[in-house]
Amino acid sequence: MRAYGIDLSSPLMLGTALYDSPAILADSVRRGRPGAVTVSLRRESAGLQAGQAFWELVRGFDVPVLPNTAGCHTVREAVTTAQMAREVFETDWIKLEVIGQGDLLQPDVFALVEAARILNEEGFKVFPYMTEDLVVAERLLRAGCEVLMPWGAPIGSGRGLNNLFGLRALRAHFPEVPMVIDAGIGRPSHAVTAFELGFDAILINTAVAKAGDPAAMAEAFRLACDVGQLAKTADPMDERDMAVPSTPTLGKASFAS
């Protein structure tokens, strides 16, 4: 996937939260080979040894870092967090999250668009976490975003792609816009479906970090990305309502009764 002029080495983006140990995280990154890793500013405690150690670990992965504004609920909070993240992580990339509903962690799309406008004007490269709403997508693009990150399902739910119609419509309406399915993917099969729909990348955290074997699951998602992209390129057959024989009937031998 190409995002803001940068070609990512893999369509898999991997979150760095929730792992039981730094060693498990590092092994998961090694086997998943992500094109980018996401990290929250809250994981980086400026001036504290633990925070500095984590940041050094992330630096060692040698992949692009996408800081996020996880946990922010207002425009001001999200913008301030993004500004701090740019200083700490030395990048103008930001995954913009503005949460409006607590139970489902659903984005506040009104605040999201406003925060995106402000951050784009300040030179950020904004990756907005959004619903699959076409109007929201249009507003974010007008605000200066060049990448969209629609959810598949609520964060950490593992439910996969809840609204196939909505996601398919979003992809069809903006065919040239890089899009990342963010949140809700729980299994590699969900990832395959996302790529078959034409999405460019996926972002995974909980499904890897809380698997029984996180590193193996990271590798499984890497392979699923390859399978999904190959399947999309191969142009899958259309679904049909009626059966069609796979063996030709022309030239079939006939037997007298």
Q: What is the number of other CB atoms lying within 10 angstroms of the CB of residue 26?
A: 17
| 95 carries an active-site annotation | yes
Question: Is residue 69 a contact partner of residue 96, using CB atoms and an 8 Å limit?
Answer: yes
Residues near 102 by beta carbon (within 8 Å), at least 6 away in sequence: none
Token pair in block for residue 87:
């200083």
Distances (CA, A) of 233 to 161, 227, 228: 20, 10, 9
Beta bridge partners of 149: 129
Report which residue type is found at 110: F
- Interatomic CA distance for residues 161 and 66, integer angstroms: 23
Annotated catalytic sites, by residue?
A: 95
